[in-house]
């Protein structure tokens, strides 16, 4: 599907992303990116007419401009754009990648639902699948620890509706499961994504039941 030039460009993009995320300690590290790329390729197999280059490039770049990762989003976006131009990526593809990576996040879609291209829907599903299941549990606690959040407080109920800013203020890891992670399977765009999402959600619900049972044991 990808020709030699496209493969070489994706390799350069991969190296660019590696230097940016290599030392991330919040769960948005390079290993996350590699999993998202793999999963996006797998989900893409169900579609015959997608632009695989845009899928892989967007998967690779989706966290490099994230508000959680960079202080100056405008500068980060400009740097990525310049880099892609230098690699000889076409303007149409750069636009396609940016339409995806600037609109795919869960928090962005809390107040307004963005319609993504099919390539974007695939990458969004792949990213969301990495937030659930066993790795998703690990990432949630890792993120919470990195930000100084507490694991659980039974007195504080999870919120049912939040703005983007309220979502960002989530400071109890277990509540994050209810406020985001358990919702993701139903939000999947692709059929295969939904299928894997349901399996991984079961891991979360089993975990939550066990977590609370242990928490309450010695009360
Ligand atoms: P998006 O990039 O789609 O807006 P997030 O930044 O919310 O998604 O999530 C990226 C990863 O960080 C996920 O694995 C998620 O579970 C984790 N994460 C984000 N916010 C929190 C939080 N408040 N508590 C625990 N984990 C979080
Ligand atoms: Ni991500």
Domain residue ranges in the chain:
4-217
**Residue 159: DSSP 8-state:** P
State both tokens at 16.
């660019």
For domain 4-217, the question of CATH label 1.10.3720.10 is answered with no
The DSSP secondary structure of 77-107, one letter per residue, reads HHHHHHHHHHTT--HHHHHHHHHHHTT--TT
Q: Which tens digit of pLDDT belongs to each residue from 196-208?
A: 999 999 999 999 9
Q: Which tens digit of pLDDT belongs to each residue from 132-161?
A: 999 999 999 999 999 999 999 999 999 888
Pocket test for ligand 1, best of 120, 159, 163, 180 (most atoms within 8 A of CB): 180
Given pLDDT bands bounded at 50, 70 and 90, which one contains residue 163? confident
Given pLDDT bands bounded at 50, 70 and 90, which one contains residue 5? very high
* Atom of ligand 1 at shortest range from CA of 26: 12
Tell how far the Cα of 26 is from the centroid of ligand 1, in angstroms: 9
The ipTM value here is 0.94
Q: Which residues pair with 150 in a beta bridge?
A: 172
How far apart (Å, rounded) are the C-alpha atoms in residues 30 and 21?
Answer: 5
Q: How far is CA 80 from CA 2, 62, 167, in A?
A: 21, 11, 27
How far apart (Å, rounded) are the C-alpha atoms in residues 15 and 54?
Answer: 17
- pTM of the complete model: 0.94
- For all residues of the chain together, what is the average pLDDT? 94
The answer to which of 18-22, 70-74, 168-172 has the lowest mean pLDDT is 168-172
């Amino acid at each position: 599907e990808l020709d030699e030039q496209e493969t070489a460009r994706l390799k350069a993009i991969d190296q660019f992303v590696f230097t940016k995320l290599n030392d991330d300690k919040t769960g948005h590290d390079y290993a996350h990116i590699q999993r998202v790329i793999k999963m996006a390729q797998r989900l893409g197999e169900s579609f015959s007419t997608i632009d695989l280059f845009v899928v892989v490039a967007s998967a690779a770049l989706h966290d490099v401009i994230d508000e959680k990762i960079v202080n100056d989003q405008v500068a980060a976006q400009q740097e990525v754009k310049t880099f892609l131009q230098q690699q000889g990526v076409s303007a149409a593809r750069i636009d396609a990648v940016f339409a995806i990576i600037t609109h795919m996040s869960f928090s962005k879609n809390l107040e307004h639902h963005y319609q993504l291209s099919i390539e974007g829907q695939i990458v969004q599903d792949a990213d969301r699948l990495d937030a659930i299941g066993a790795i998703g549990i690990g990432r949630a606690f890792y993120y919470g620890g990195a930000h100084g959040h507490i694991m659980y407080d039974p007195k504080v109920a999870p919120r049912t509706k939040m703005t983007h800013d309220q979502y960002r203020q989530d400071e109890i890891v277990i509540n994050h499961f209810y406020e985001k992670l358990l919702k993701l399977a139903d939000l999947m765009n692709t059929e295969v994504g939904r299928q894997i999402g349901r399996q991984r959600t079961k891991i979360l619900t089993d975990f939550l039941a066990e977590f609370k049972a242990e928490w309450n044991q010695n009360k």
